[in-house]
Structure 1
């Protein structure tokens, strides 16, 4: 990565690889909370000159470390070790300066700071608007305060403090420390940077206390998640990185922790992204998804508002908290332009119950569930029986599925599809939502609603098969356009249908085979679009690139339906890909070139870490175990396989029902396609069925 980013709670810091924020606005570096940049400059100097970067690391998701030096030719150097983390709304940065000259030296160490309080949308050049003004800049005890009055009447302040008395702050925002160090002598200076909103600020601890508190919170979080070991160092590393990044990406906006979409530009709750990430996280610990469901229920649409693409019962797409949103210059407070978030919300509830048997949460959210179902039915009726989308908001999105770029829904002719558009995978989500909720409501005693959902799903299935199947391709269409014409481009979207149970068995097999055929699978995961399609190009955002989460959704279906060969091919390829990215951190996406190239090609503006990419390693685990719990029938099915270069997989403390399951899978070396299953623990009270 060409940047370093750390996050804790609602606060994150994006810097250059040397740790600096230069203030030139290139790269959008800064310290952000509530979609506002509270620090736009943080640079260090030795005798007025920039030190040279030696190394930069963020191996632990929550701590970044930088080693730099300022040398004098053939004489020696001052080494600067920068370490930073965030806890309780405060950025901590420690500078450790060591003299590696053969004698004592005296030098000026300085750090320059500034804050511009720009809205995230302005930083990204995504929006413009009328904003507030700076109202104060003053010296405080061992520190500097910069204040801003927003157009939304919110007073924002950045407090920059340090722990050394012997310092001099000039009018430009640069603090100087006149240091004298003996040979090999070390000096530490700690900085504490606090965003303050309407006077509310986090308490400052010592550097050591803050780090200990943060590390303890990680230990507690990881201690409550599923533990995994295998004989594959690649898988172990990918899983550990993914779980650690997910902890970093959790945020609570008042209704429980949930994963934000990704860093650096999407550090906010989403509908689709947070739901899919939570769906992937169920084997990690189902308790972790409750905050997602409660947050999205709290922001469920309650009126018709074309400005936000909002309708009653609709689940939001994205929420922002910055100045442009607060002054209604942007519709993202929240914005509802997502056709799939609402059915996926219901899918997540259904899957949560399958893992936990927790009907109390369903009862709590039942009004939200019923409103979501009403929204789906209303807009399905408007779409000739299928759930469609059409942009209403002037500043919204023209395409409102997960492939939301403007060129992603394209006919074989190269013509863009006209809306309203019915996406294939969205119809699958609708089907899965109704079929998974029906037995839940039956168990809760609402037989009328259960029967209604079952009947609707059955009728919907027949209608879908007739409308979307492409006989010549032996595959499902990407979508139906405004005129109910099939968008016959072959894409990864119908791969999501395998998870939903919508396709019949024969067609599901055709889909599974096509997804790993050469036009869709180049050796580095399943592409978003066939190489034979008119719209294909491998460097695109959605038209031929590879998205790990897209592969994850497909893997859930391949595993559930027993397509082990295809699932193994996909997992093996993505494990190989992970070795090419820093810390095995799966990016948001990468280019769709063939593996014959010898290495995956990075996409230039990908987010990393990205929540649903981080969670893909957990999907690998569920797929390899062939694990499908059903708390309603009190059964757990296991149908395992292991990919290439893996002969043993041990999974401990999987949370299912009110207990835990621990399993070891080993390859039978007399038959490499058969596997031994050992149940190490089963305190769930459920029957385990092995295939």
Structure 2
């Protein structure tokens, strides 16, 4: 999907590279908020000239610039307008719920040029699920278009009893407005300029933002981005590719931040998943600790606010369970789909606990953790009750919602959990990585409960975790492969595919030292490591396909978790090889951005091949390079104990790294890491206002 996207808060625009949304588009383009398409057509054309694209970019995420120029125009046998002498620039940005666009025409000729300009707009108010191809359509009513001298208003009464409208305003007023079209007759003076300005305002139940002065709006937007930069850790290395990758990641995270009333958190990705998303938001917040730990707080509060409270099979909800995804459109509001929110995820609940424990260790914010304690205990209760359906000590999933997901781990494709013989595993399914998340959560939270004066709870968690680790080593280990099975199926049989999932078990500390060595080595073998990154599935497994969504592709976030795991067990050379592969891969993608995923073809074939419909930007892909910084530093804070542990290791191609304004506890760290010619890595603490002891080595 070739598109341009800009976003701010809950409003985002997706267009083709020319900046247009054409009539009858089937690509999912539009202006969206609250899971509704408020603009389904948006074209600016010069009726008496043929225009061609010069450039199109949205590198800043919140502002997009498209430049076009003309082909020559003949009047009879004479050239009336020389080619490339008229420029049309479309510049748009989003601020405080309003889309602003400025269309500028520049005449490079020494004579005036007449331009007939048409602006065509429409709004179909389709639900995001319908835009994505969901078969059950709207049940509401589209009303007749209302126009005046400088605006077009579209409106819709939804089956969910919400009134939605879109108002498009033009300045100056068009020559004529006819239905959904506005027409201008412009005379552009020699070497002169003509400017048209538009604003698009979505309205729900009469509530609509008010457009501001454009200069003021863009200034406030730019200031907010500068404030984000100031909040975050600053990194500089002697590797320009890596510097560019980190800067891109921070910009992408910023545009994906949203606040639904509980603090900022990252939505999953654009253009499809600009909503609270349990697993993705939690993992992205975990990736962000070394750059902005405050995002974890907003993420935890948001997830806690929507924590399950009852047994509701329609939504796969149970008490204590953390949601998968929430939607705000007509289909959700009217009960056609169960996303209000939907809870069909097996990993969000233990990941919520891991994030809470990590937040405590990174910030020492005991007051907040005490406020969150009821949610933590409810999540722990869910793991040991509803999560463990047959009381065998493993957390399994089984779809109950008719319109939910069959597979409920991060690899949620229908074919992602497949036996060696090619048959699909049948639920209830216990995924390997989920057991790791549970183990890690219990071990980390045992420390927390002990410090909160609850030693009995700490002992209970440690004993439960120890049993899980012992049983896992017995039940998930494939002796023939020397590797961990992706899952146990409904008969407790191993699902024998070789996948990246056990790399998550490294991150969790669930594996024995011997198992960890074998898993680490296998992850870097040619069947798993493409040269660009670790594949989701081995080339030797039955289900492998380099273009499969989950069975052979490379997911940067998946690699980031594997890298954390490799570093946890001390396999720094392994971790650095993965980091090096992904840094190199980033050069081949637009804006030096790691996409959600890319195809699993080997590096020897030339360059990484994009996956056709990957989200970009995407939160946990953007978070991946930020994880690399933590791994390079070997950083493990324990603020409640007054310690920050650092054990740096730099990959090839990076010999010097400067770290400034890294927030830990109540202060910041400035660090300098260097690699000498003989391969030795040195660490210098330049500044330490945390009050914590830095322990190196």
TM-score, normalization by structure 2:
0.97
Partner of 2:316: 309
Deviation at 1:102, TM superposition (A): 2.7
Q: Is the 8 A contact 1:383 1:422 kept in 2?
A: no
Give the whole-Å Cα distance in 2 for the aligned partners of 1:623 and 1:347: 18
1:512-569 superposed Cα distances (whole Å, 9 cap, x missing partner) = 1111011100201000001110111111000010000000111111222221100110
Partner of 1:213: 220
Q: Give SS of 2:339's match.
A: coil
- The number of residue pairs the alignment matches comes to 688
Q: Is the 8 A contact 1:25 1:123 kept in 2?
A: no
Q: Does 1:414 align with 2:405?
A: no
Distance 1:544 1:635, change over 3 A: same
1:396-545 correspondence to structure 2 within 5 Å:
396-545=404-553
Distance 1:436 1:50, change over 3 A: farther
Give the whole-Å Cα distance in 2 for the aligned partners of 1:63 and 1:538: 34
Give the whole-Å Cα distance in 2 for the aligned partners of 1:539 and 1:381: 34
Partner of 2:689: 683
1:86-126 superposed Cα distances (whole Å, 9 cap, x missing partner) = 00000011111111223011221221111000001111103
1:269-321 superposed Cα distances (whole Å, 9 cap, x missing partner) = 10000000000011111111111111111111111111111111110001000
- Of the three residues 92, 95, 103, the one matched with 1:95 is 103
Give the whole-Å Cα distance in 2 for the aligned partners of 1:383 and 1:267: 36
Deviation at 1:646, TM superposition (A): 1.1
After alignment, is 524-533 or 77-86 more displaced? 77-86
Partner of 2:397: 389
- Of the three residues 231, 238, 246, the one matched with 1:239 is 246
- Of the three residues 264, 282, 288, the one matched with 2:289 is 282
After alignment, is 162-171 or 572-581 more displaced? 162-171
1:587-606 superposed Cα distances (whole Å, 9 cap, x missing partner) = 11000010000101111111
Give the whole-Å Cα distance in 2 for the aligned partners of 1:193 and 1:50: 26
Q: Does 1:29 align with 2:17?
A: no
Partner of 2:303: 296
Q: Give SS of 1:490's match.
A: coil
CA RMSD of aligned residues (A): 1.2
Q: Is the 8 A contact 2:232 2:292 kept in 1?
A: yes
Q: Does 1:369 align with 2:376?
A: yes
After alignment, is 81-90 or 57-66 more displaced? 57-66
Q: Is the 8 A contact 1:44 1:50 kept in 2?
A: no
Give the whole-Å Cα distance in 2 for the aligned partners of 1:658 and 1:565: 33
Give the whole-Å Cα distance in 2 for the aligned partners of 1:128 and 1:526: 38
After alignment, is 69-78 or 257-266 more displaced? 69-78
Deviation at 1:50, TM superposition (A): 5.5
Q: Is the 8 A contact 2:174 2:182 kept in 1?
A: no
Consecutive unaligned residues of structure 2, counting only runs of 5 or more, are: 74-78
Give the whole-Å Cα distance in 2 for the aligned partners of 1:301 and 1:167: 55
Deviation at 1:47, TM superposition (A): 2.4
Q: Give SS of 1:20's match.
A: coil
Partner of 1:61: 61
Partner of 1:342: 349
Q: Is the 8 A contact 2:266 2:284 kept in 1?
A: yes
Where does structure 1 differ by over 4 angstroms across 4 or more consecutive aligned residues? none
Partner of 1:606: 614
Give the whole-Å Cα distance in 1 for the aligned partners of 2:480 and 2:114: 78
Give the whole-Å Cα distance in 2 for the aligned partners of 1:472 and 1:500: 24
- Of the three residues 243, 261, 271, the one matched with 2:268 is 261
Q: Is the 8 A contact 2:46 2:115 kept in 1?
A: yes
Q: Does 1:228 align with 2:235?
A: yes
Q: Give SS of 2:543's match.
A: coil
Q: Is the 8 A contact 2:50 2:71 kept in 1?
A: no
Give the whole-Å Cα distance in 2 for the aligned partners of 1:405 and 1:603: 15
Partner of 1:201: 208
Give the whole-Å Cα distance in 2 for the aligned partners of 1:71 and 1:415: 57
After alignment, is 358-367 or 261-270 more displaced? 358-367
Distance 1:402 1:166, change over 3 A: closer
TM-score, normalization by structure 1:
0.98
Partner of 2:76: none
Deviation at 1:683, TM superposition (A): 1.1
Partner of 1:120: 128
Q: Does 1:654 align with 2:672?
A: no
Partner of 1:7: 7
Q: Is the 8 A contact 2:171 2:197 kept in 1?
A: yes
Deviation at 1:51, TM superposition (A): 2.3
Q: Is the 8 A contact 1:136 1:148 kept in 2?
A: no
Q: Is the 8 A contact 1:46 1:70 kept in 2?
A: no
Partner of 1:181: 188
Deviation at 1:166, TM superposition (A): 5.1
Partner of 1:319: 326
Deviation at 1:209, TM superposition (A): 1.4
Deviation at 1:616, TM superposition (A): 0.5
After alignment, is 204-213 or 592-601 more displaced? 204-213
Q: Is the 8 A contact 2:315 2:342 kept in 1?
A: yes
Distance 1:170 1:594, change over 3 A: same
Partner of 2:630: 622
Partner of 1:190: 197
Give the whole-Å Cα distance in 2 for the aligned partners of 1:304 and 1:549: 32
Q: Is the 8 A contact 1:99 1:184 kept in 2?
A: yes
Q: Give SS of 1:458's match.
A: helix
Deviation at 1:139, TM superposition (A): 1.4
Partner of 2:151: 143
Partner of 2:359: 352
After alignment, is 467-476 or 604-613 more displaced? 467-476
Partner of 1:83: 91
Give the whole-Å Cα distance in 2 for the aligned partners of 1:526 and 1:403: 15
Partner of 1:568: 576
Q: Give SS of 1:617's match.
A: helix
Give the whole-Å Cα distance in 2 for the aligned partners of 1:108 and 1:300: 56
Give the whole-Å Cα distance in 2 for the aligned partners of 1:535 and 1:182: 64
Q: Is the 8 A contact 1:190 1:207 kept in 2?
A: no
Distance 1:499 1:132, change over 3 A: same
Give the whole-Å Cα distance in 2 for the aligned partners of 1:539 and 1:105: 50
1:13-41 superposed Cα distances (whole Å, 9 cap, x missing partner) = 00000000102122111000000000001
Q: Give SS of 1:380's match.
A: coil
Deviation at 1:210, TM superposition (A): 1.2
Deviation at 1:129, TM superposition (A): 3.7
Deviation at 1:195, TM superposition (A): 0.3
Q: Is the 8 A contact 1:18 1:66 kept in 2?
A: yes
Give the whole-Å Cα distance in 2 for the aligned partners of 1:48 and 1:573: 50
